[in-house]
Amino acid sequence: MDTARPAPDASTLARRRADFKALHASGCFILPNPWDAGSARYLQSLGFQALATTSSGHAWSQARADGDLPVGAVLAHLREMVAASDLPVNADFEDGFGDSPEAVRRHVAQAVDTGVAGLSIEDSTGDASAPLYPIDVAVARLRAARAAIDATGGDTLLVGRAENFFAGRPDLDDAIVRLRAYADAGADCLYAPGITTREQIAAVVAAVAPKPVNVLMGATSDLTLPDLAALGVRRVSVGGALARAAWGGFMRAAQALRAGRFDGFEGAAQGAQLNGLFRGA
């Protein structure tokens, strides 16, 4: 029997997208990154206001490396995640799955059709010798994404990502030039994953104001949510960190089991708790 939740209708999607945009207008919110329907549902139960997919977390669940899944698999995953909870979903849409603006436009249109409330486009190439698109090409790709969204009504939020710090080019000045260009090209929210210091974050926020900024956080920073809010950050995501935490627990338990021990299950969730969360959903 198929127990998948039905896809939300058009009015529900419109409401989610409006709610998602409103979250970016003031304050600072956490945008956690589930990797499957179950983790999405649990995050909803904790009271989060919106969710974001994680390309790495999803890829690992499919025994693939981050960035190795084809666009069709990612689109199917987005549909599953949109249906999994009642919250707006922001898609980690990687580089748009194509070098050319036309490919980005086509794939973004397909992503919007999945029902996501927002999506991000990266400017990394995957080529170690030239890890970032030239800025004019990157801007053309963002404009293509913007055009695809506008053709569907324009209510899906577009995030422009400068991947300098993830692509081995940790040049803050260049990242800021790129983010400003992406803002001018129609990005609603700006994101430079990998910036970590107060000074870097404050510089990015000031450079693209009044547009909202997303900051990626992990376990290596002493910054808190109030700290980030005071710096002017609008939203905070964690990328693959939750998936890595889950993998860490699984790997420790499995390694203990291989050694003939059963103490790796200490602290595991109770089956009754999980059944209660998902029963009738």
What CATH number did the domain enclosing 33 receive? 3.20.20.60
- Do the domain assignments include residue 69? yes
- Do the domain assignments include residue 100? yes
**pTM of the prediction?**
0.96
Containing domain of residue 153, as a range? 10-240
Q: Is the pLDDT of residue 214 over 90?
A: yes
- Do the domain assignments include residue 81? yes
Share of the chain above pLDDT 70, in %: 99
- Do the domain assignments include residue 169? yes
- Do the domain assignments include residue 261? no
Q: How confident is the model at residue 1 (pLDDT cuts 50, 70, 90)?
A: very low
**Strands, E, within the chain: which ranges?**
29-31, 51-52, 89-92, 118-121, 157-161, 189-191, 213-216, 235-237
3-state secondary structure of 195: coil
* Contact (Cβ atoms closer than 8 angstroms) between residue 244 and residue 44: no
At 135-158, the pLDDT tens digits run 999 999 999 999 999 999 999 999
Look at residue 124 in the predicted model and tell me its pLDDT.
98
Look at residue 281 in the predicted model and tell me its pLDDT.
64
Verify whether residue 66 is a known catalytic residue: yes
- Do the domain assignments include residue 153? yes
Number of domains present in the structure of the chain: 1
Neighbours of 30 (CB within 10 A): 16
Q: Tell me which of 66, 99, 174, 227 is the catalytic residue.
A: 66
